[in-house]
Homo-oligomer: A and B are copies of this chain.
């Protein structure tokens, strides 16, 4: 099947079950690409809102979609997937549940034929759910994990990949247990930590909270997430999350003990080591193109004049300096700004010399 045929097949008939944040966002994103989408929800009000919002139209009696996307809360996923395989006997069925191993195990235990089922998980979300938080660009540039097994037909995989690509995501294949271990670390652990950190604020004097700034706001932002959803996710992935929490708890206990007696031998070393480990851990989170390698950074002084940045980028192009990342630091009150340019470490020396030669000041 050619790409065009595949795209037209996807375009023809995608049915979404569950009109929350993810289901509605998939609907919006596919329709923005001209795909016809139908959508339903156990709540008629939610379905009507999603339809009004432009996330899809109502499924007509007898209509048979090619692909069904199950976007329900995790504890209903297995039931809804099983029912969809019966309701839509020609369709490929996928789901977008945040955990992949437990729902698959539940389906396998029912002894039903799962040939037409492919689990998936788009790594996208917001701390507030629901139809009205939906965005067509929610998936742009985000990984979309697909868990196939040996029996998955090529067409099933291709359809889910095509949907992921249509909405701007990056499809990637994972094993269900590896996926669950990964999200335990990068998604579930941060969620629990943010929630428990925010929970400490209940016993803080309200005057004190008036001093809060961006650090507290960022570390606790996702504590706004819905407990009804997260209790399902966390209990469906409980062992890996518990293990990570226990390790974090041990580090917190060590840190607190060192602070209780900062003059004791080794206390300052312990504190410094743990803070430095935080720096190093953060450095491992990849930036551009999935690479975890660290880039060299050049800070170029930019005069606050029209045309300076255009000149800099034109010089970078002419000098064939590949920029991996870029940030502008410009203070409204300052006479100059700094362009922070990230390049591969091996390109740093040449970039520094070439830019300096063209008169750029680098600090």
Contact residues of A with B, CB < 8 Å?
Answer: 25, 28-29, 31-32, 49, 52-55, 123-125, 127, 132-138, 140-143, 145, 170, 172, 178, 181-183, 185-187, 189-213, 215-225, 227-228, 230-231, 234-235, 238-239, 241-242, 244-249, 251-253, 255-257, 259-260, 262, 268, 271-272, 274-282, 284-292, 299, 301, 306-307, 309-310, 312-314, 316-317, 320, 323-338, 363
Contacts and interface: CB of A to CB of B under 8 A. Distances in A.
B185 A331 contact: no
A307 B145 CA distance: 32
User: Closest 9 A-B residue pairs measured CB to CB?
Assistant: A136-B333, A195-B278, A141-B331, A32-B333, A310-B313, A141-B334, A201-B281, A227-B275, A290-B332
Contacts of A255: 192, 196, 245
14 contacts: A54-B336, A132-B299, A183-B211, A190-B219, A193-B193, A196-B251, A196-B252, A198-B278, A199-B274, A199-B280, A206-B292, A212-B286, A245-B256, A326-B328
A327 B31 CA distance: 25
A52 B284 CA distance: 34
Contacts of A249: 249, 252-253, 256
